[in-house]
A and B are shown apart, each in its own frame.
Chain A
Amino acid sequence: MPTPRGLWITCLILPALAVMLLFVAYPIVSALAYAFYHWNGMARGEFVGFRNFYDVLFTEPYKSTVQNAFINNVIVFVTLMVVQNGAAFILAYALWREFPLARFHRIAVFLPVVLSTVIVGYLWKLFLNPLFGIVNQTLKAVGLAGLAQPWLGQSDTALASLILVNAWHWVGFPTLIFLAAMQRIPSEIYDAVRMETESEWVKIRKIIWPLVAPAATIVFVLQFIGSFNWFELPYVMEGMSGSPYGNTDVLALYFYRLAFGNPGAGSSDFGHGSALAALVFIFITVFATAMTLYLRRREIEL
């Protein structure tokens, strides 16, 4: 028999808990369970053990797409970490100073973050159009016609274009996290070091970075999870098959293709899709946890 107070607390928590159990915990646990069954359409088939996992990792036609997609995901993560965060750190450092129009610059850097990926993807797809897009038009207008090319339609520029568009879309997020961390540096500490040295580099390395690092840890982990979930932008800009020649194929896209790629045709491959999802999920969880622990312990020294 619960006390009135216990009953009251239960009433407060139960609705939220029920939603979380039904629509988060249950699907995630079942996603792992589904991977052990053969699914060919509507109903669950026979238990096949680790067969789906084996197929996805070691058997064609799954193997080469998964490998290719994984490599693309790693490229996306590493370049975003370097390009996007490098730019974000420099921008935050500049925004930290009370320049004229500082507030306006802050609003501008974050503006694309609030736009839907679908809007950003189509906008840049139109800009990067080989014939009429503004990028090639501008290159021709300034006498650099030789640089104009089908950005999204050839293998060596497609992924790079997508990564740059993604950086444009999201750079404001790490910028403002870094900026908020910089603004929390006590001015006494900063002034004390300014007396010691004039070198900006020493100040960045000794004061600014160590105090920004804890906030950066969270940014890195979120970016890691985001990179291995990357779906919307490649889907919108390059379509479901990640053309050309699978150059923008990423794991989430292949997962979607396996599970929902052929709607109504009764050929949805939920078994292999779930196995791939489970592998990505385990990979993300293990590495995100390891990253958090490692970065926390190291306090991310430069």
Chain B
Amino acid sequence: MSDTTYTDRSGLMRTFGRDGLLQILLIANTFIMIAPIVIMVFSAFKPSMAIFRQPFAIPDFTDLSNFEAIWTETHFVRYFFNSLLITGSSILAILVLGSMAAYALGRYNFRGSSFLLLFFLAGLTLPLKLAVIPLFVLMRKMGLLDSQLSLILIYIAMGLPSTVFIMTGFIRSLPGELEDAARMDGATEARIMWSVMLPLARPAMVIAAIHNLVPIWNDFFFPLIFIQNDLLKTLPQGLTSFMGEYTTNWGVLFAGLTFAAAPITLLYIILSRQFINGMTSGAIK
């Protein structure tokens, strides 16, 4: 009966079929997503004139003069290590504090535990950007303006809700038998947590770490407000002053963008599965 119902197909449908059309669409989309990034990398190896005249031409990849300019004339390498330090310490602290809290909330039943979990979860949707004036005043009082510690503290606060959310769910799902067995053997609560349960929670830690890695590494708003000293700037923040300085030399501009995009892009290409799981984990049950 279904054979006769749907015969009124459009011309395109008749030529390619449904799957053919979808495939063409996918290929076109992949091109749109990747081409700008490829052109950015190509342009980083070209002198400005070549960028304007032959934007799509494959460059001479041995011409590193734009990158030399970045290396010698800017603080990009410094910005890179600042970002590494800030992101690394934030993620480490998020994992330590987040695992501790998630373990308590996931493994023990105590008065107020569900309220505490809700309190952490509320942080998931609160836009901290809008509370930046009090944060600024608070950091000024603590003497932390123009210091990287101010950023690390804010990033820990930003990262804890999702980490507690991801890890509490996971830790709750771990079997209780192992815990009971260890308790019968006389292990302390701390020992059970450290040697028995946390090693099992490692997959959730990886997910939580990647979930926080991208927003912290890429953040631009908080450095903009808290960091003035050029030597303390992060990579995205440093990029803004650099783009303002080199407005005419497009080769160097594209090299700067390529340099800034390279670390996270390469990491993503190597660990794409973990990245996709990590970044989308908050939204999928």
Contacts and interface: CB of A to CB of B under 8 A. Distances in A.
A joins B in a complex: yes
Interface of B: 2, 5-6, 18-19, 22-23, 25-27, 29-30, 32-34, 36-37, 39-40, 51-52, 55, 97-98, 100-101, 103-105, 108, 110, 116, 119-120, 123, 125-138, 153-154, 156-157, 160-161, 164, 189-190, 214, 217-218, 220-221, 225, 235-237, 239-240, 243, 250, 253-254, 257, 260-261, 264-265, 268-269, 272, 275-276, 279-280, 282-285
A31 B261 CA distance: 34
A200 interface: yes
Contacts of B269: 107
A111 B284 contact: no
Contact of A23 (B127, B135, B285): B135
Given A119-B239, A218-B283, A20 B268 contact: no
Contacts of A9: 104, 108, 110
Given A16-B160, A94-B22, A215-B284, A119 B236 contact: yes
B236 to A, nearest CB: 4
A221 interface: yes
A181 B33 CA distance: 23
A95 B101 contact: no
B127 A111 contact: no
Interface string A49-72: 000000000000000000000000
Interface stretch (A78-86, A144-152, A153-161, A224-232): A224-232
A116 B217 contact: yes
A202 to B, nearest CB: 10
Size range of the chain A interface in the assembly? 35 or more
Given A99-B23, A288-B125, A168 B153 contact: no
Contacts of A23: 135, 138, 153-154, 156-157
A103 to B, nearest CB: 8
14 contacts: A15-B100, A26-B134, A34-B134, A93-B22, A108-B34, A110-B275, A112-B37, A116-B218, A116-B260, A122-B243, A168-B32, A176-B276, A199-B6, A260-B136
B125 A19 contact: no
Nearest 9 Cβ contacts at the A-B interface: A116-B218, A23-B157, A27-B131, A16-B101, A12-B104, A30-B134, A27-B134, A94-B22, A118-B236
A109 B157 CA distance: 30
A293 interface: no
Contacts of A116: 217-218, 220, 235-236, 239, 260-261, 264
A12 B37 contact: no
**Interface SS of B by simple majority:** helix
Contacts of A24: 123, 126, 128, 131, 157
Given A112-B33, A134-B55, A200-B18, A13 B101 contact: yes
A214 B138 CA distance: 39
A301 B138 CA distance: 46
B133 A31 contact: yes
A36 interface: no
Given A27-B128, A105-B26, A134-B39, A214 B285 contact: yes
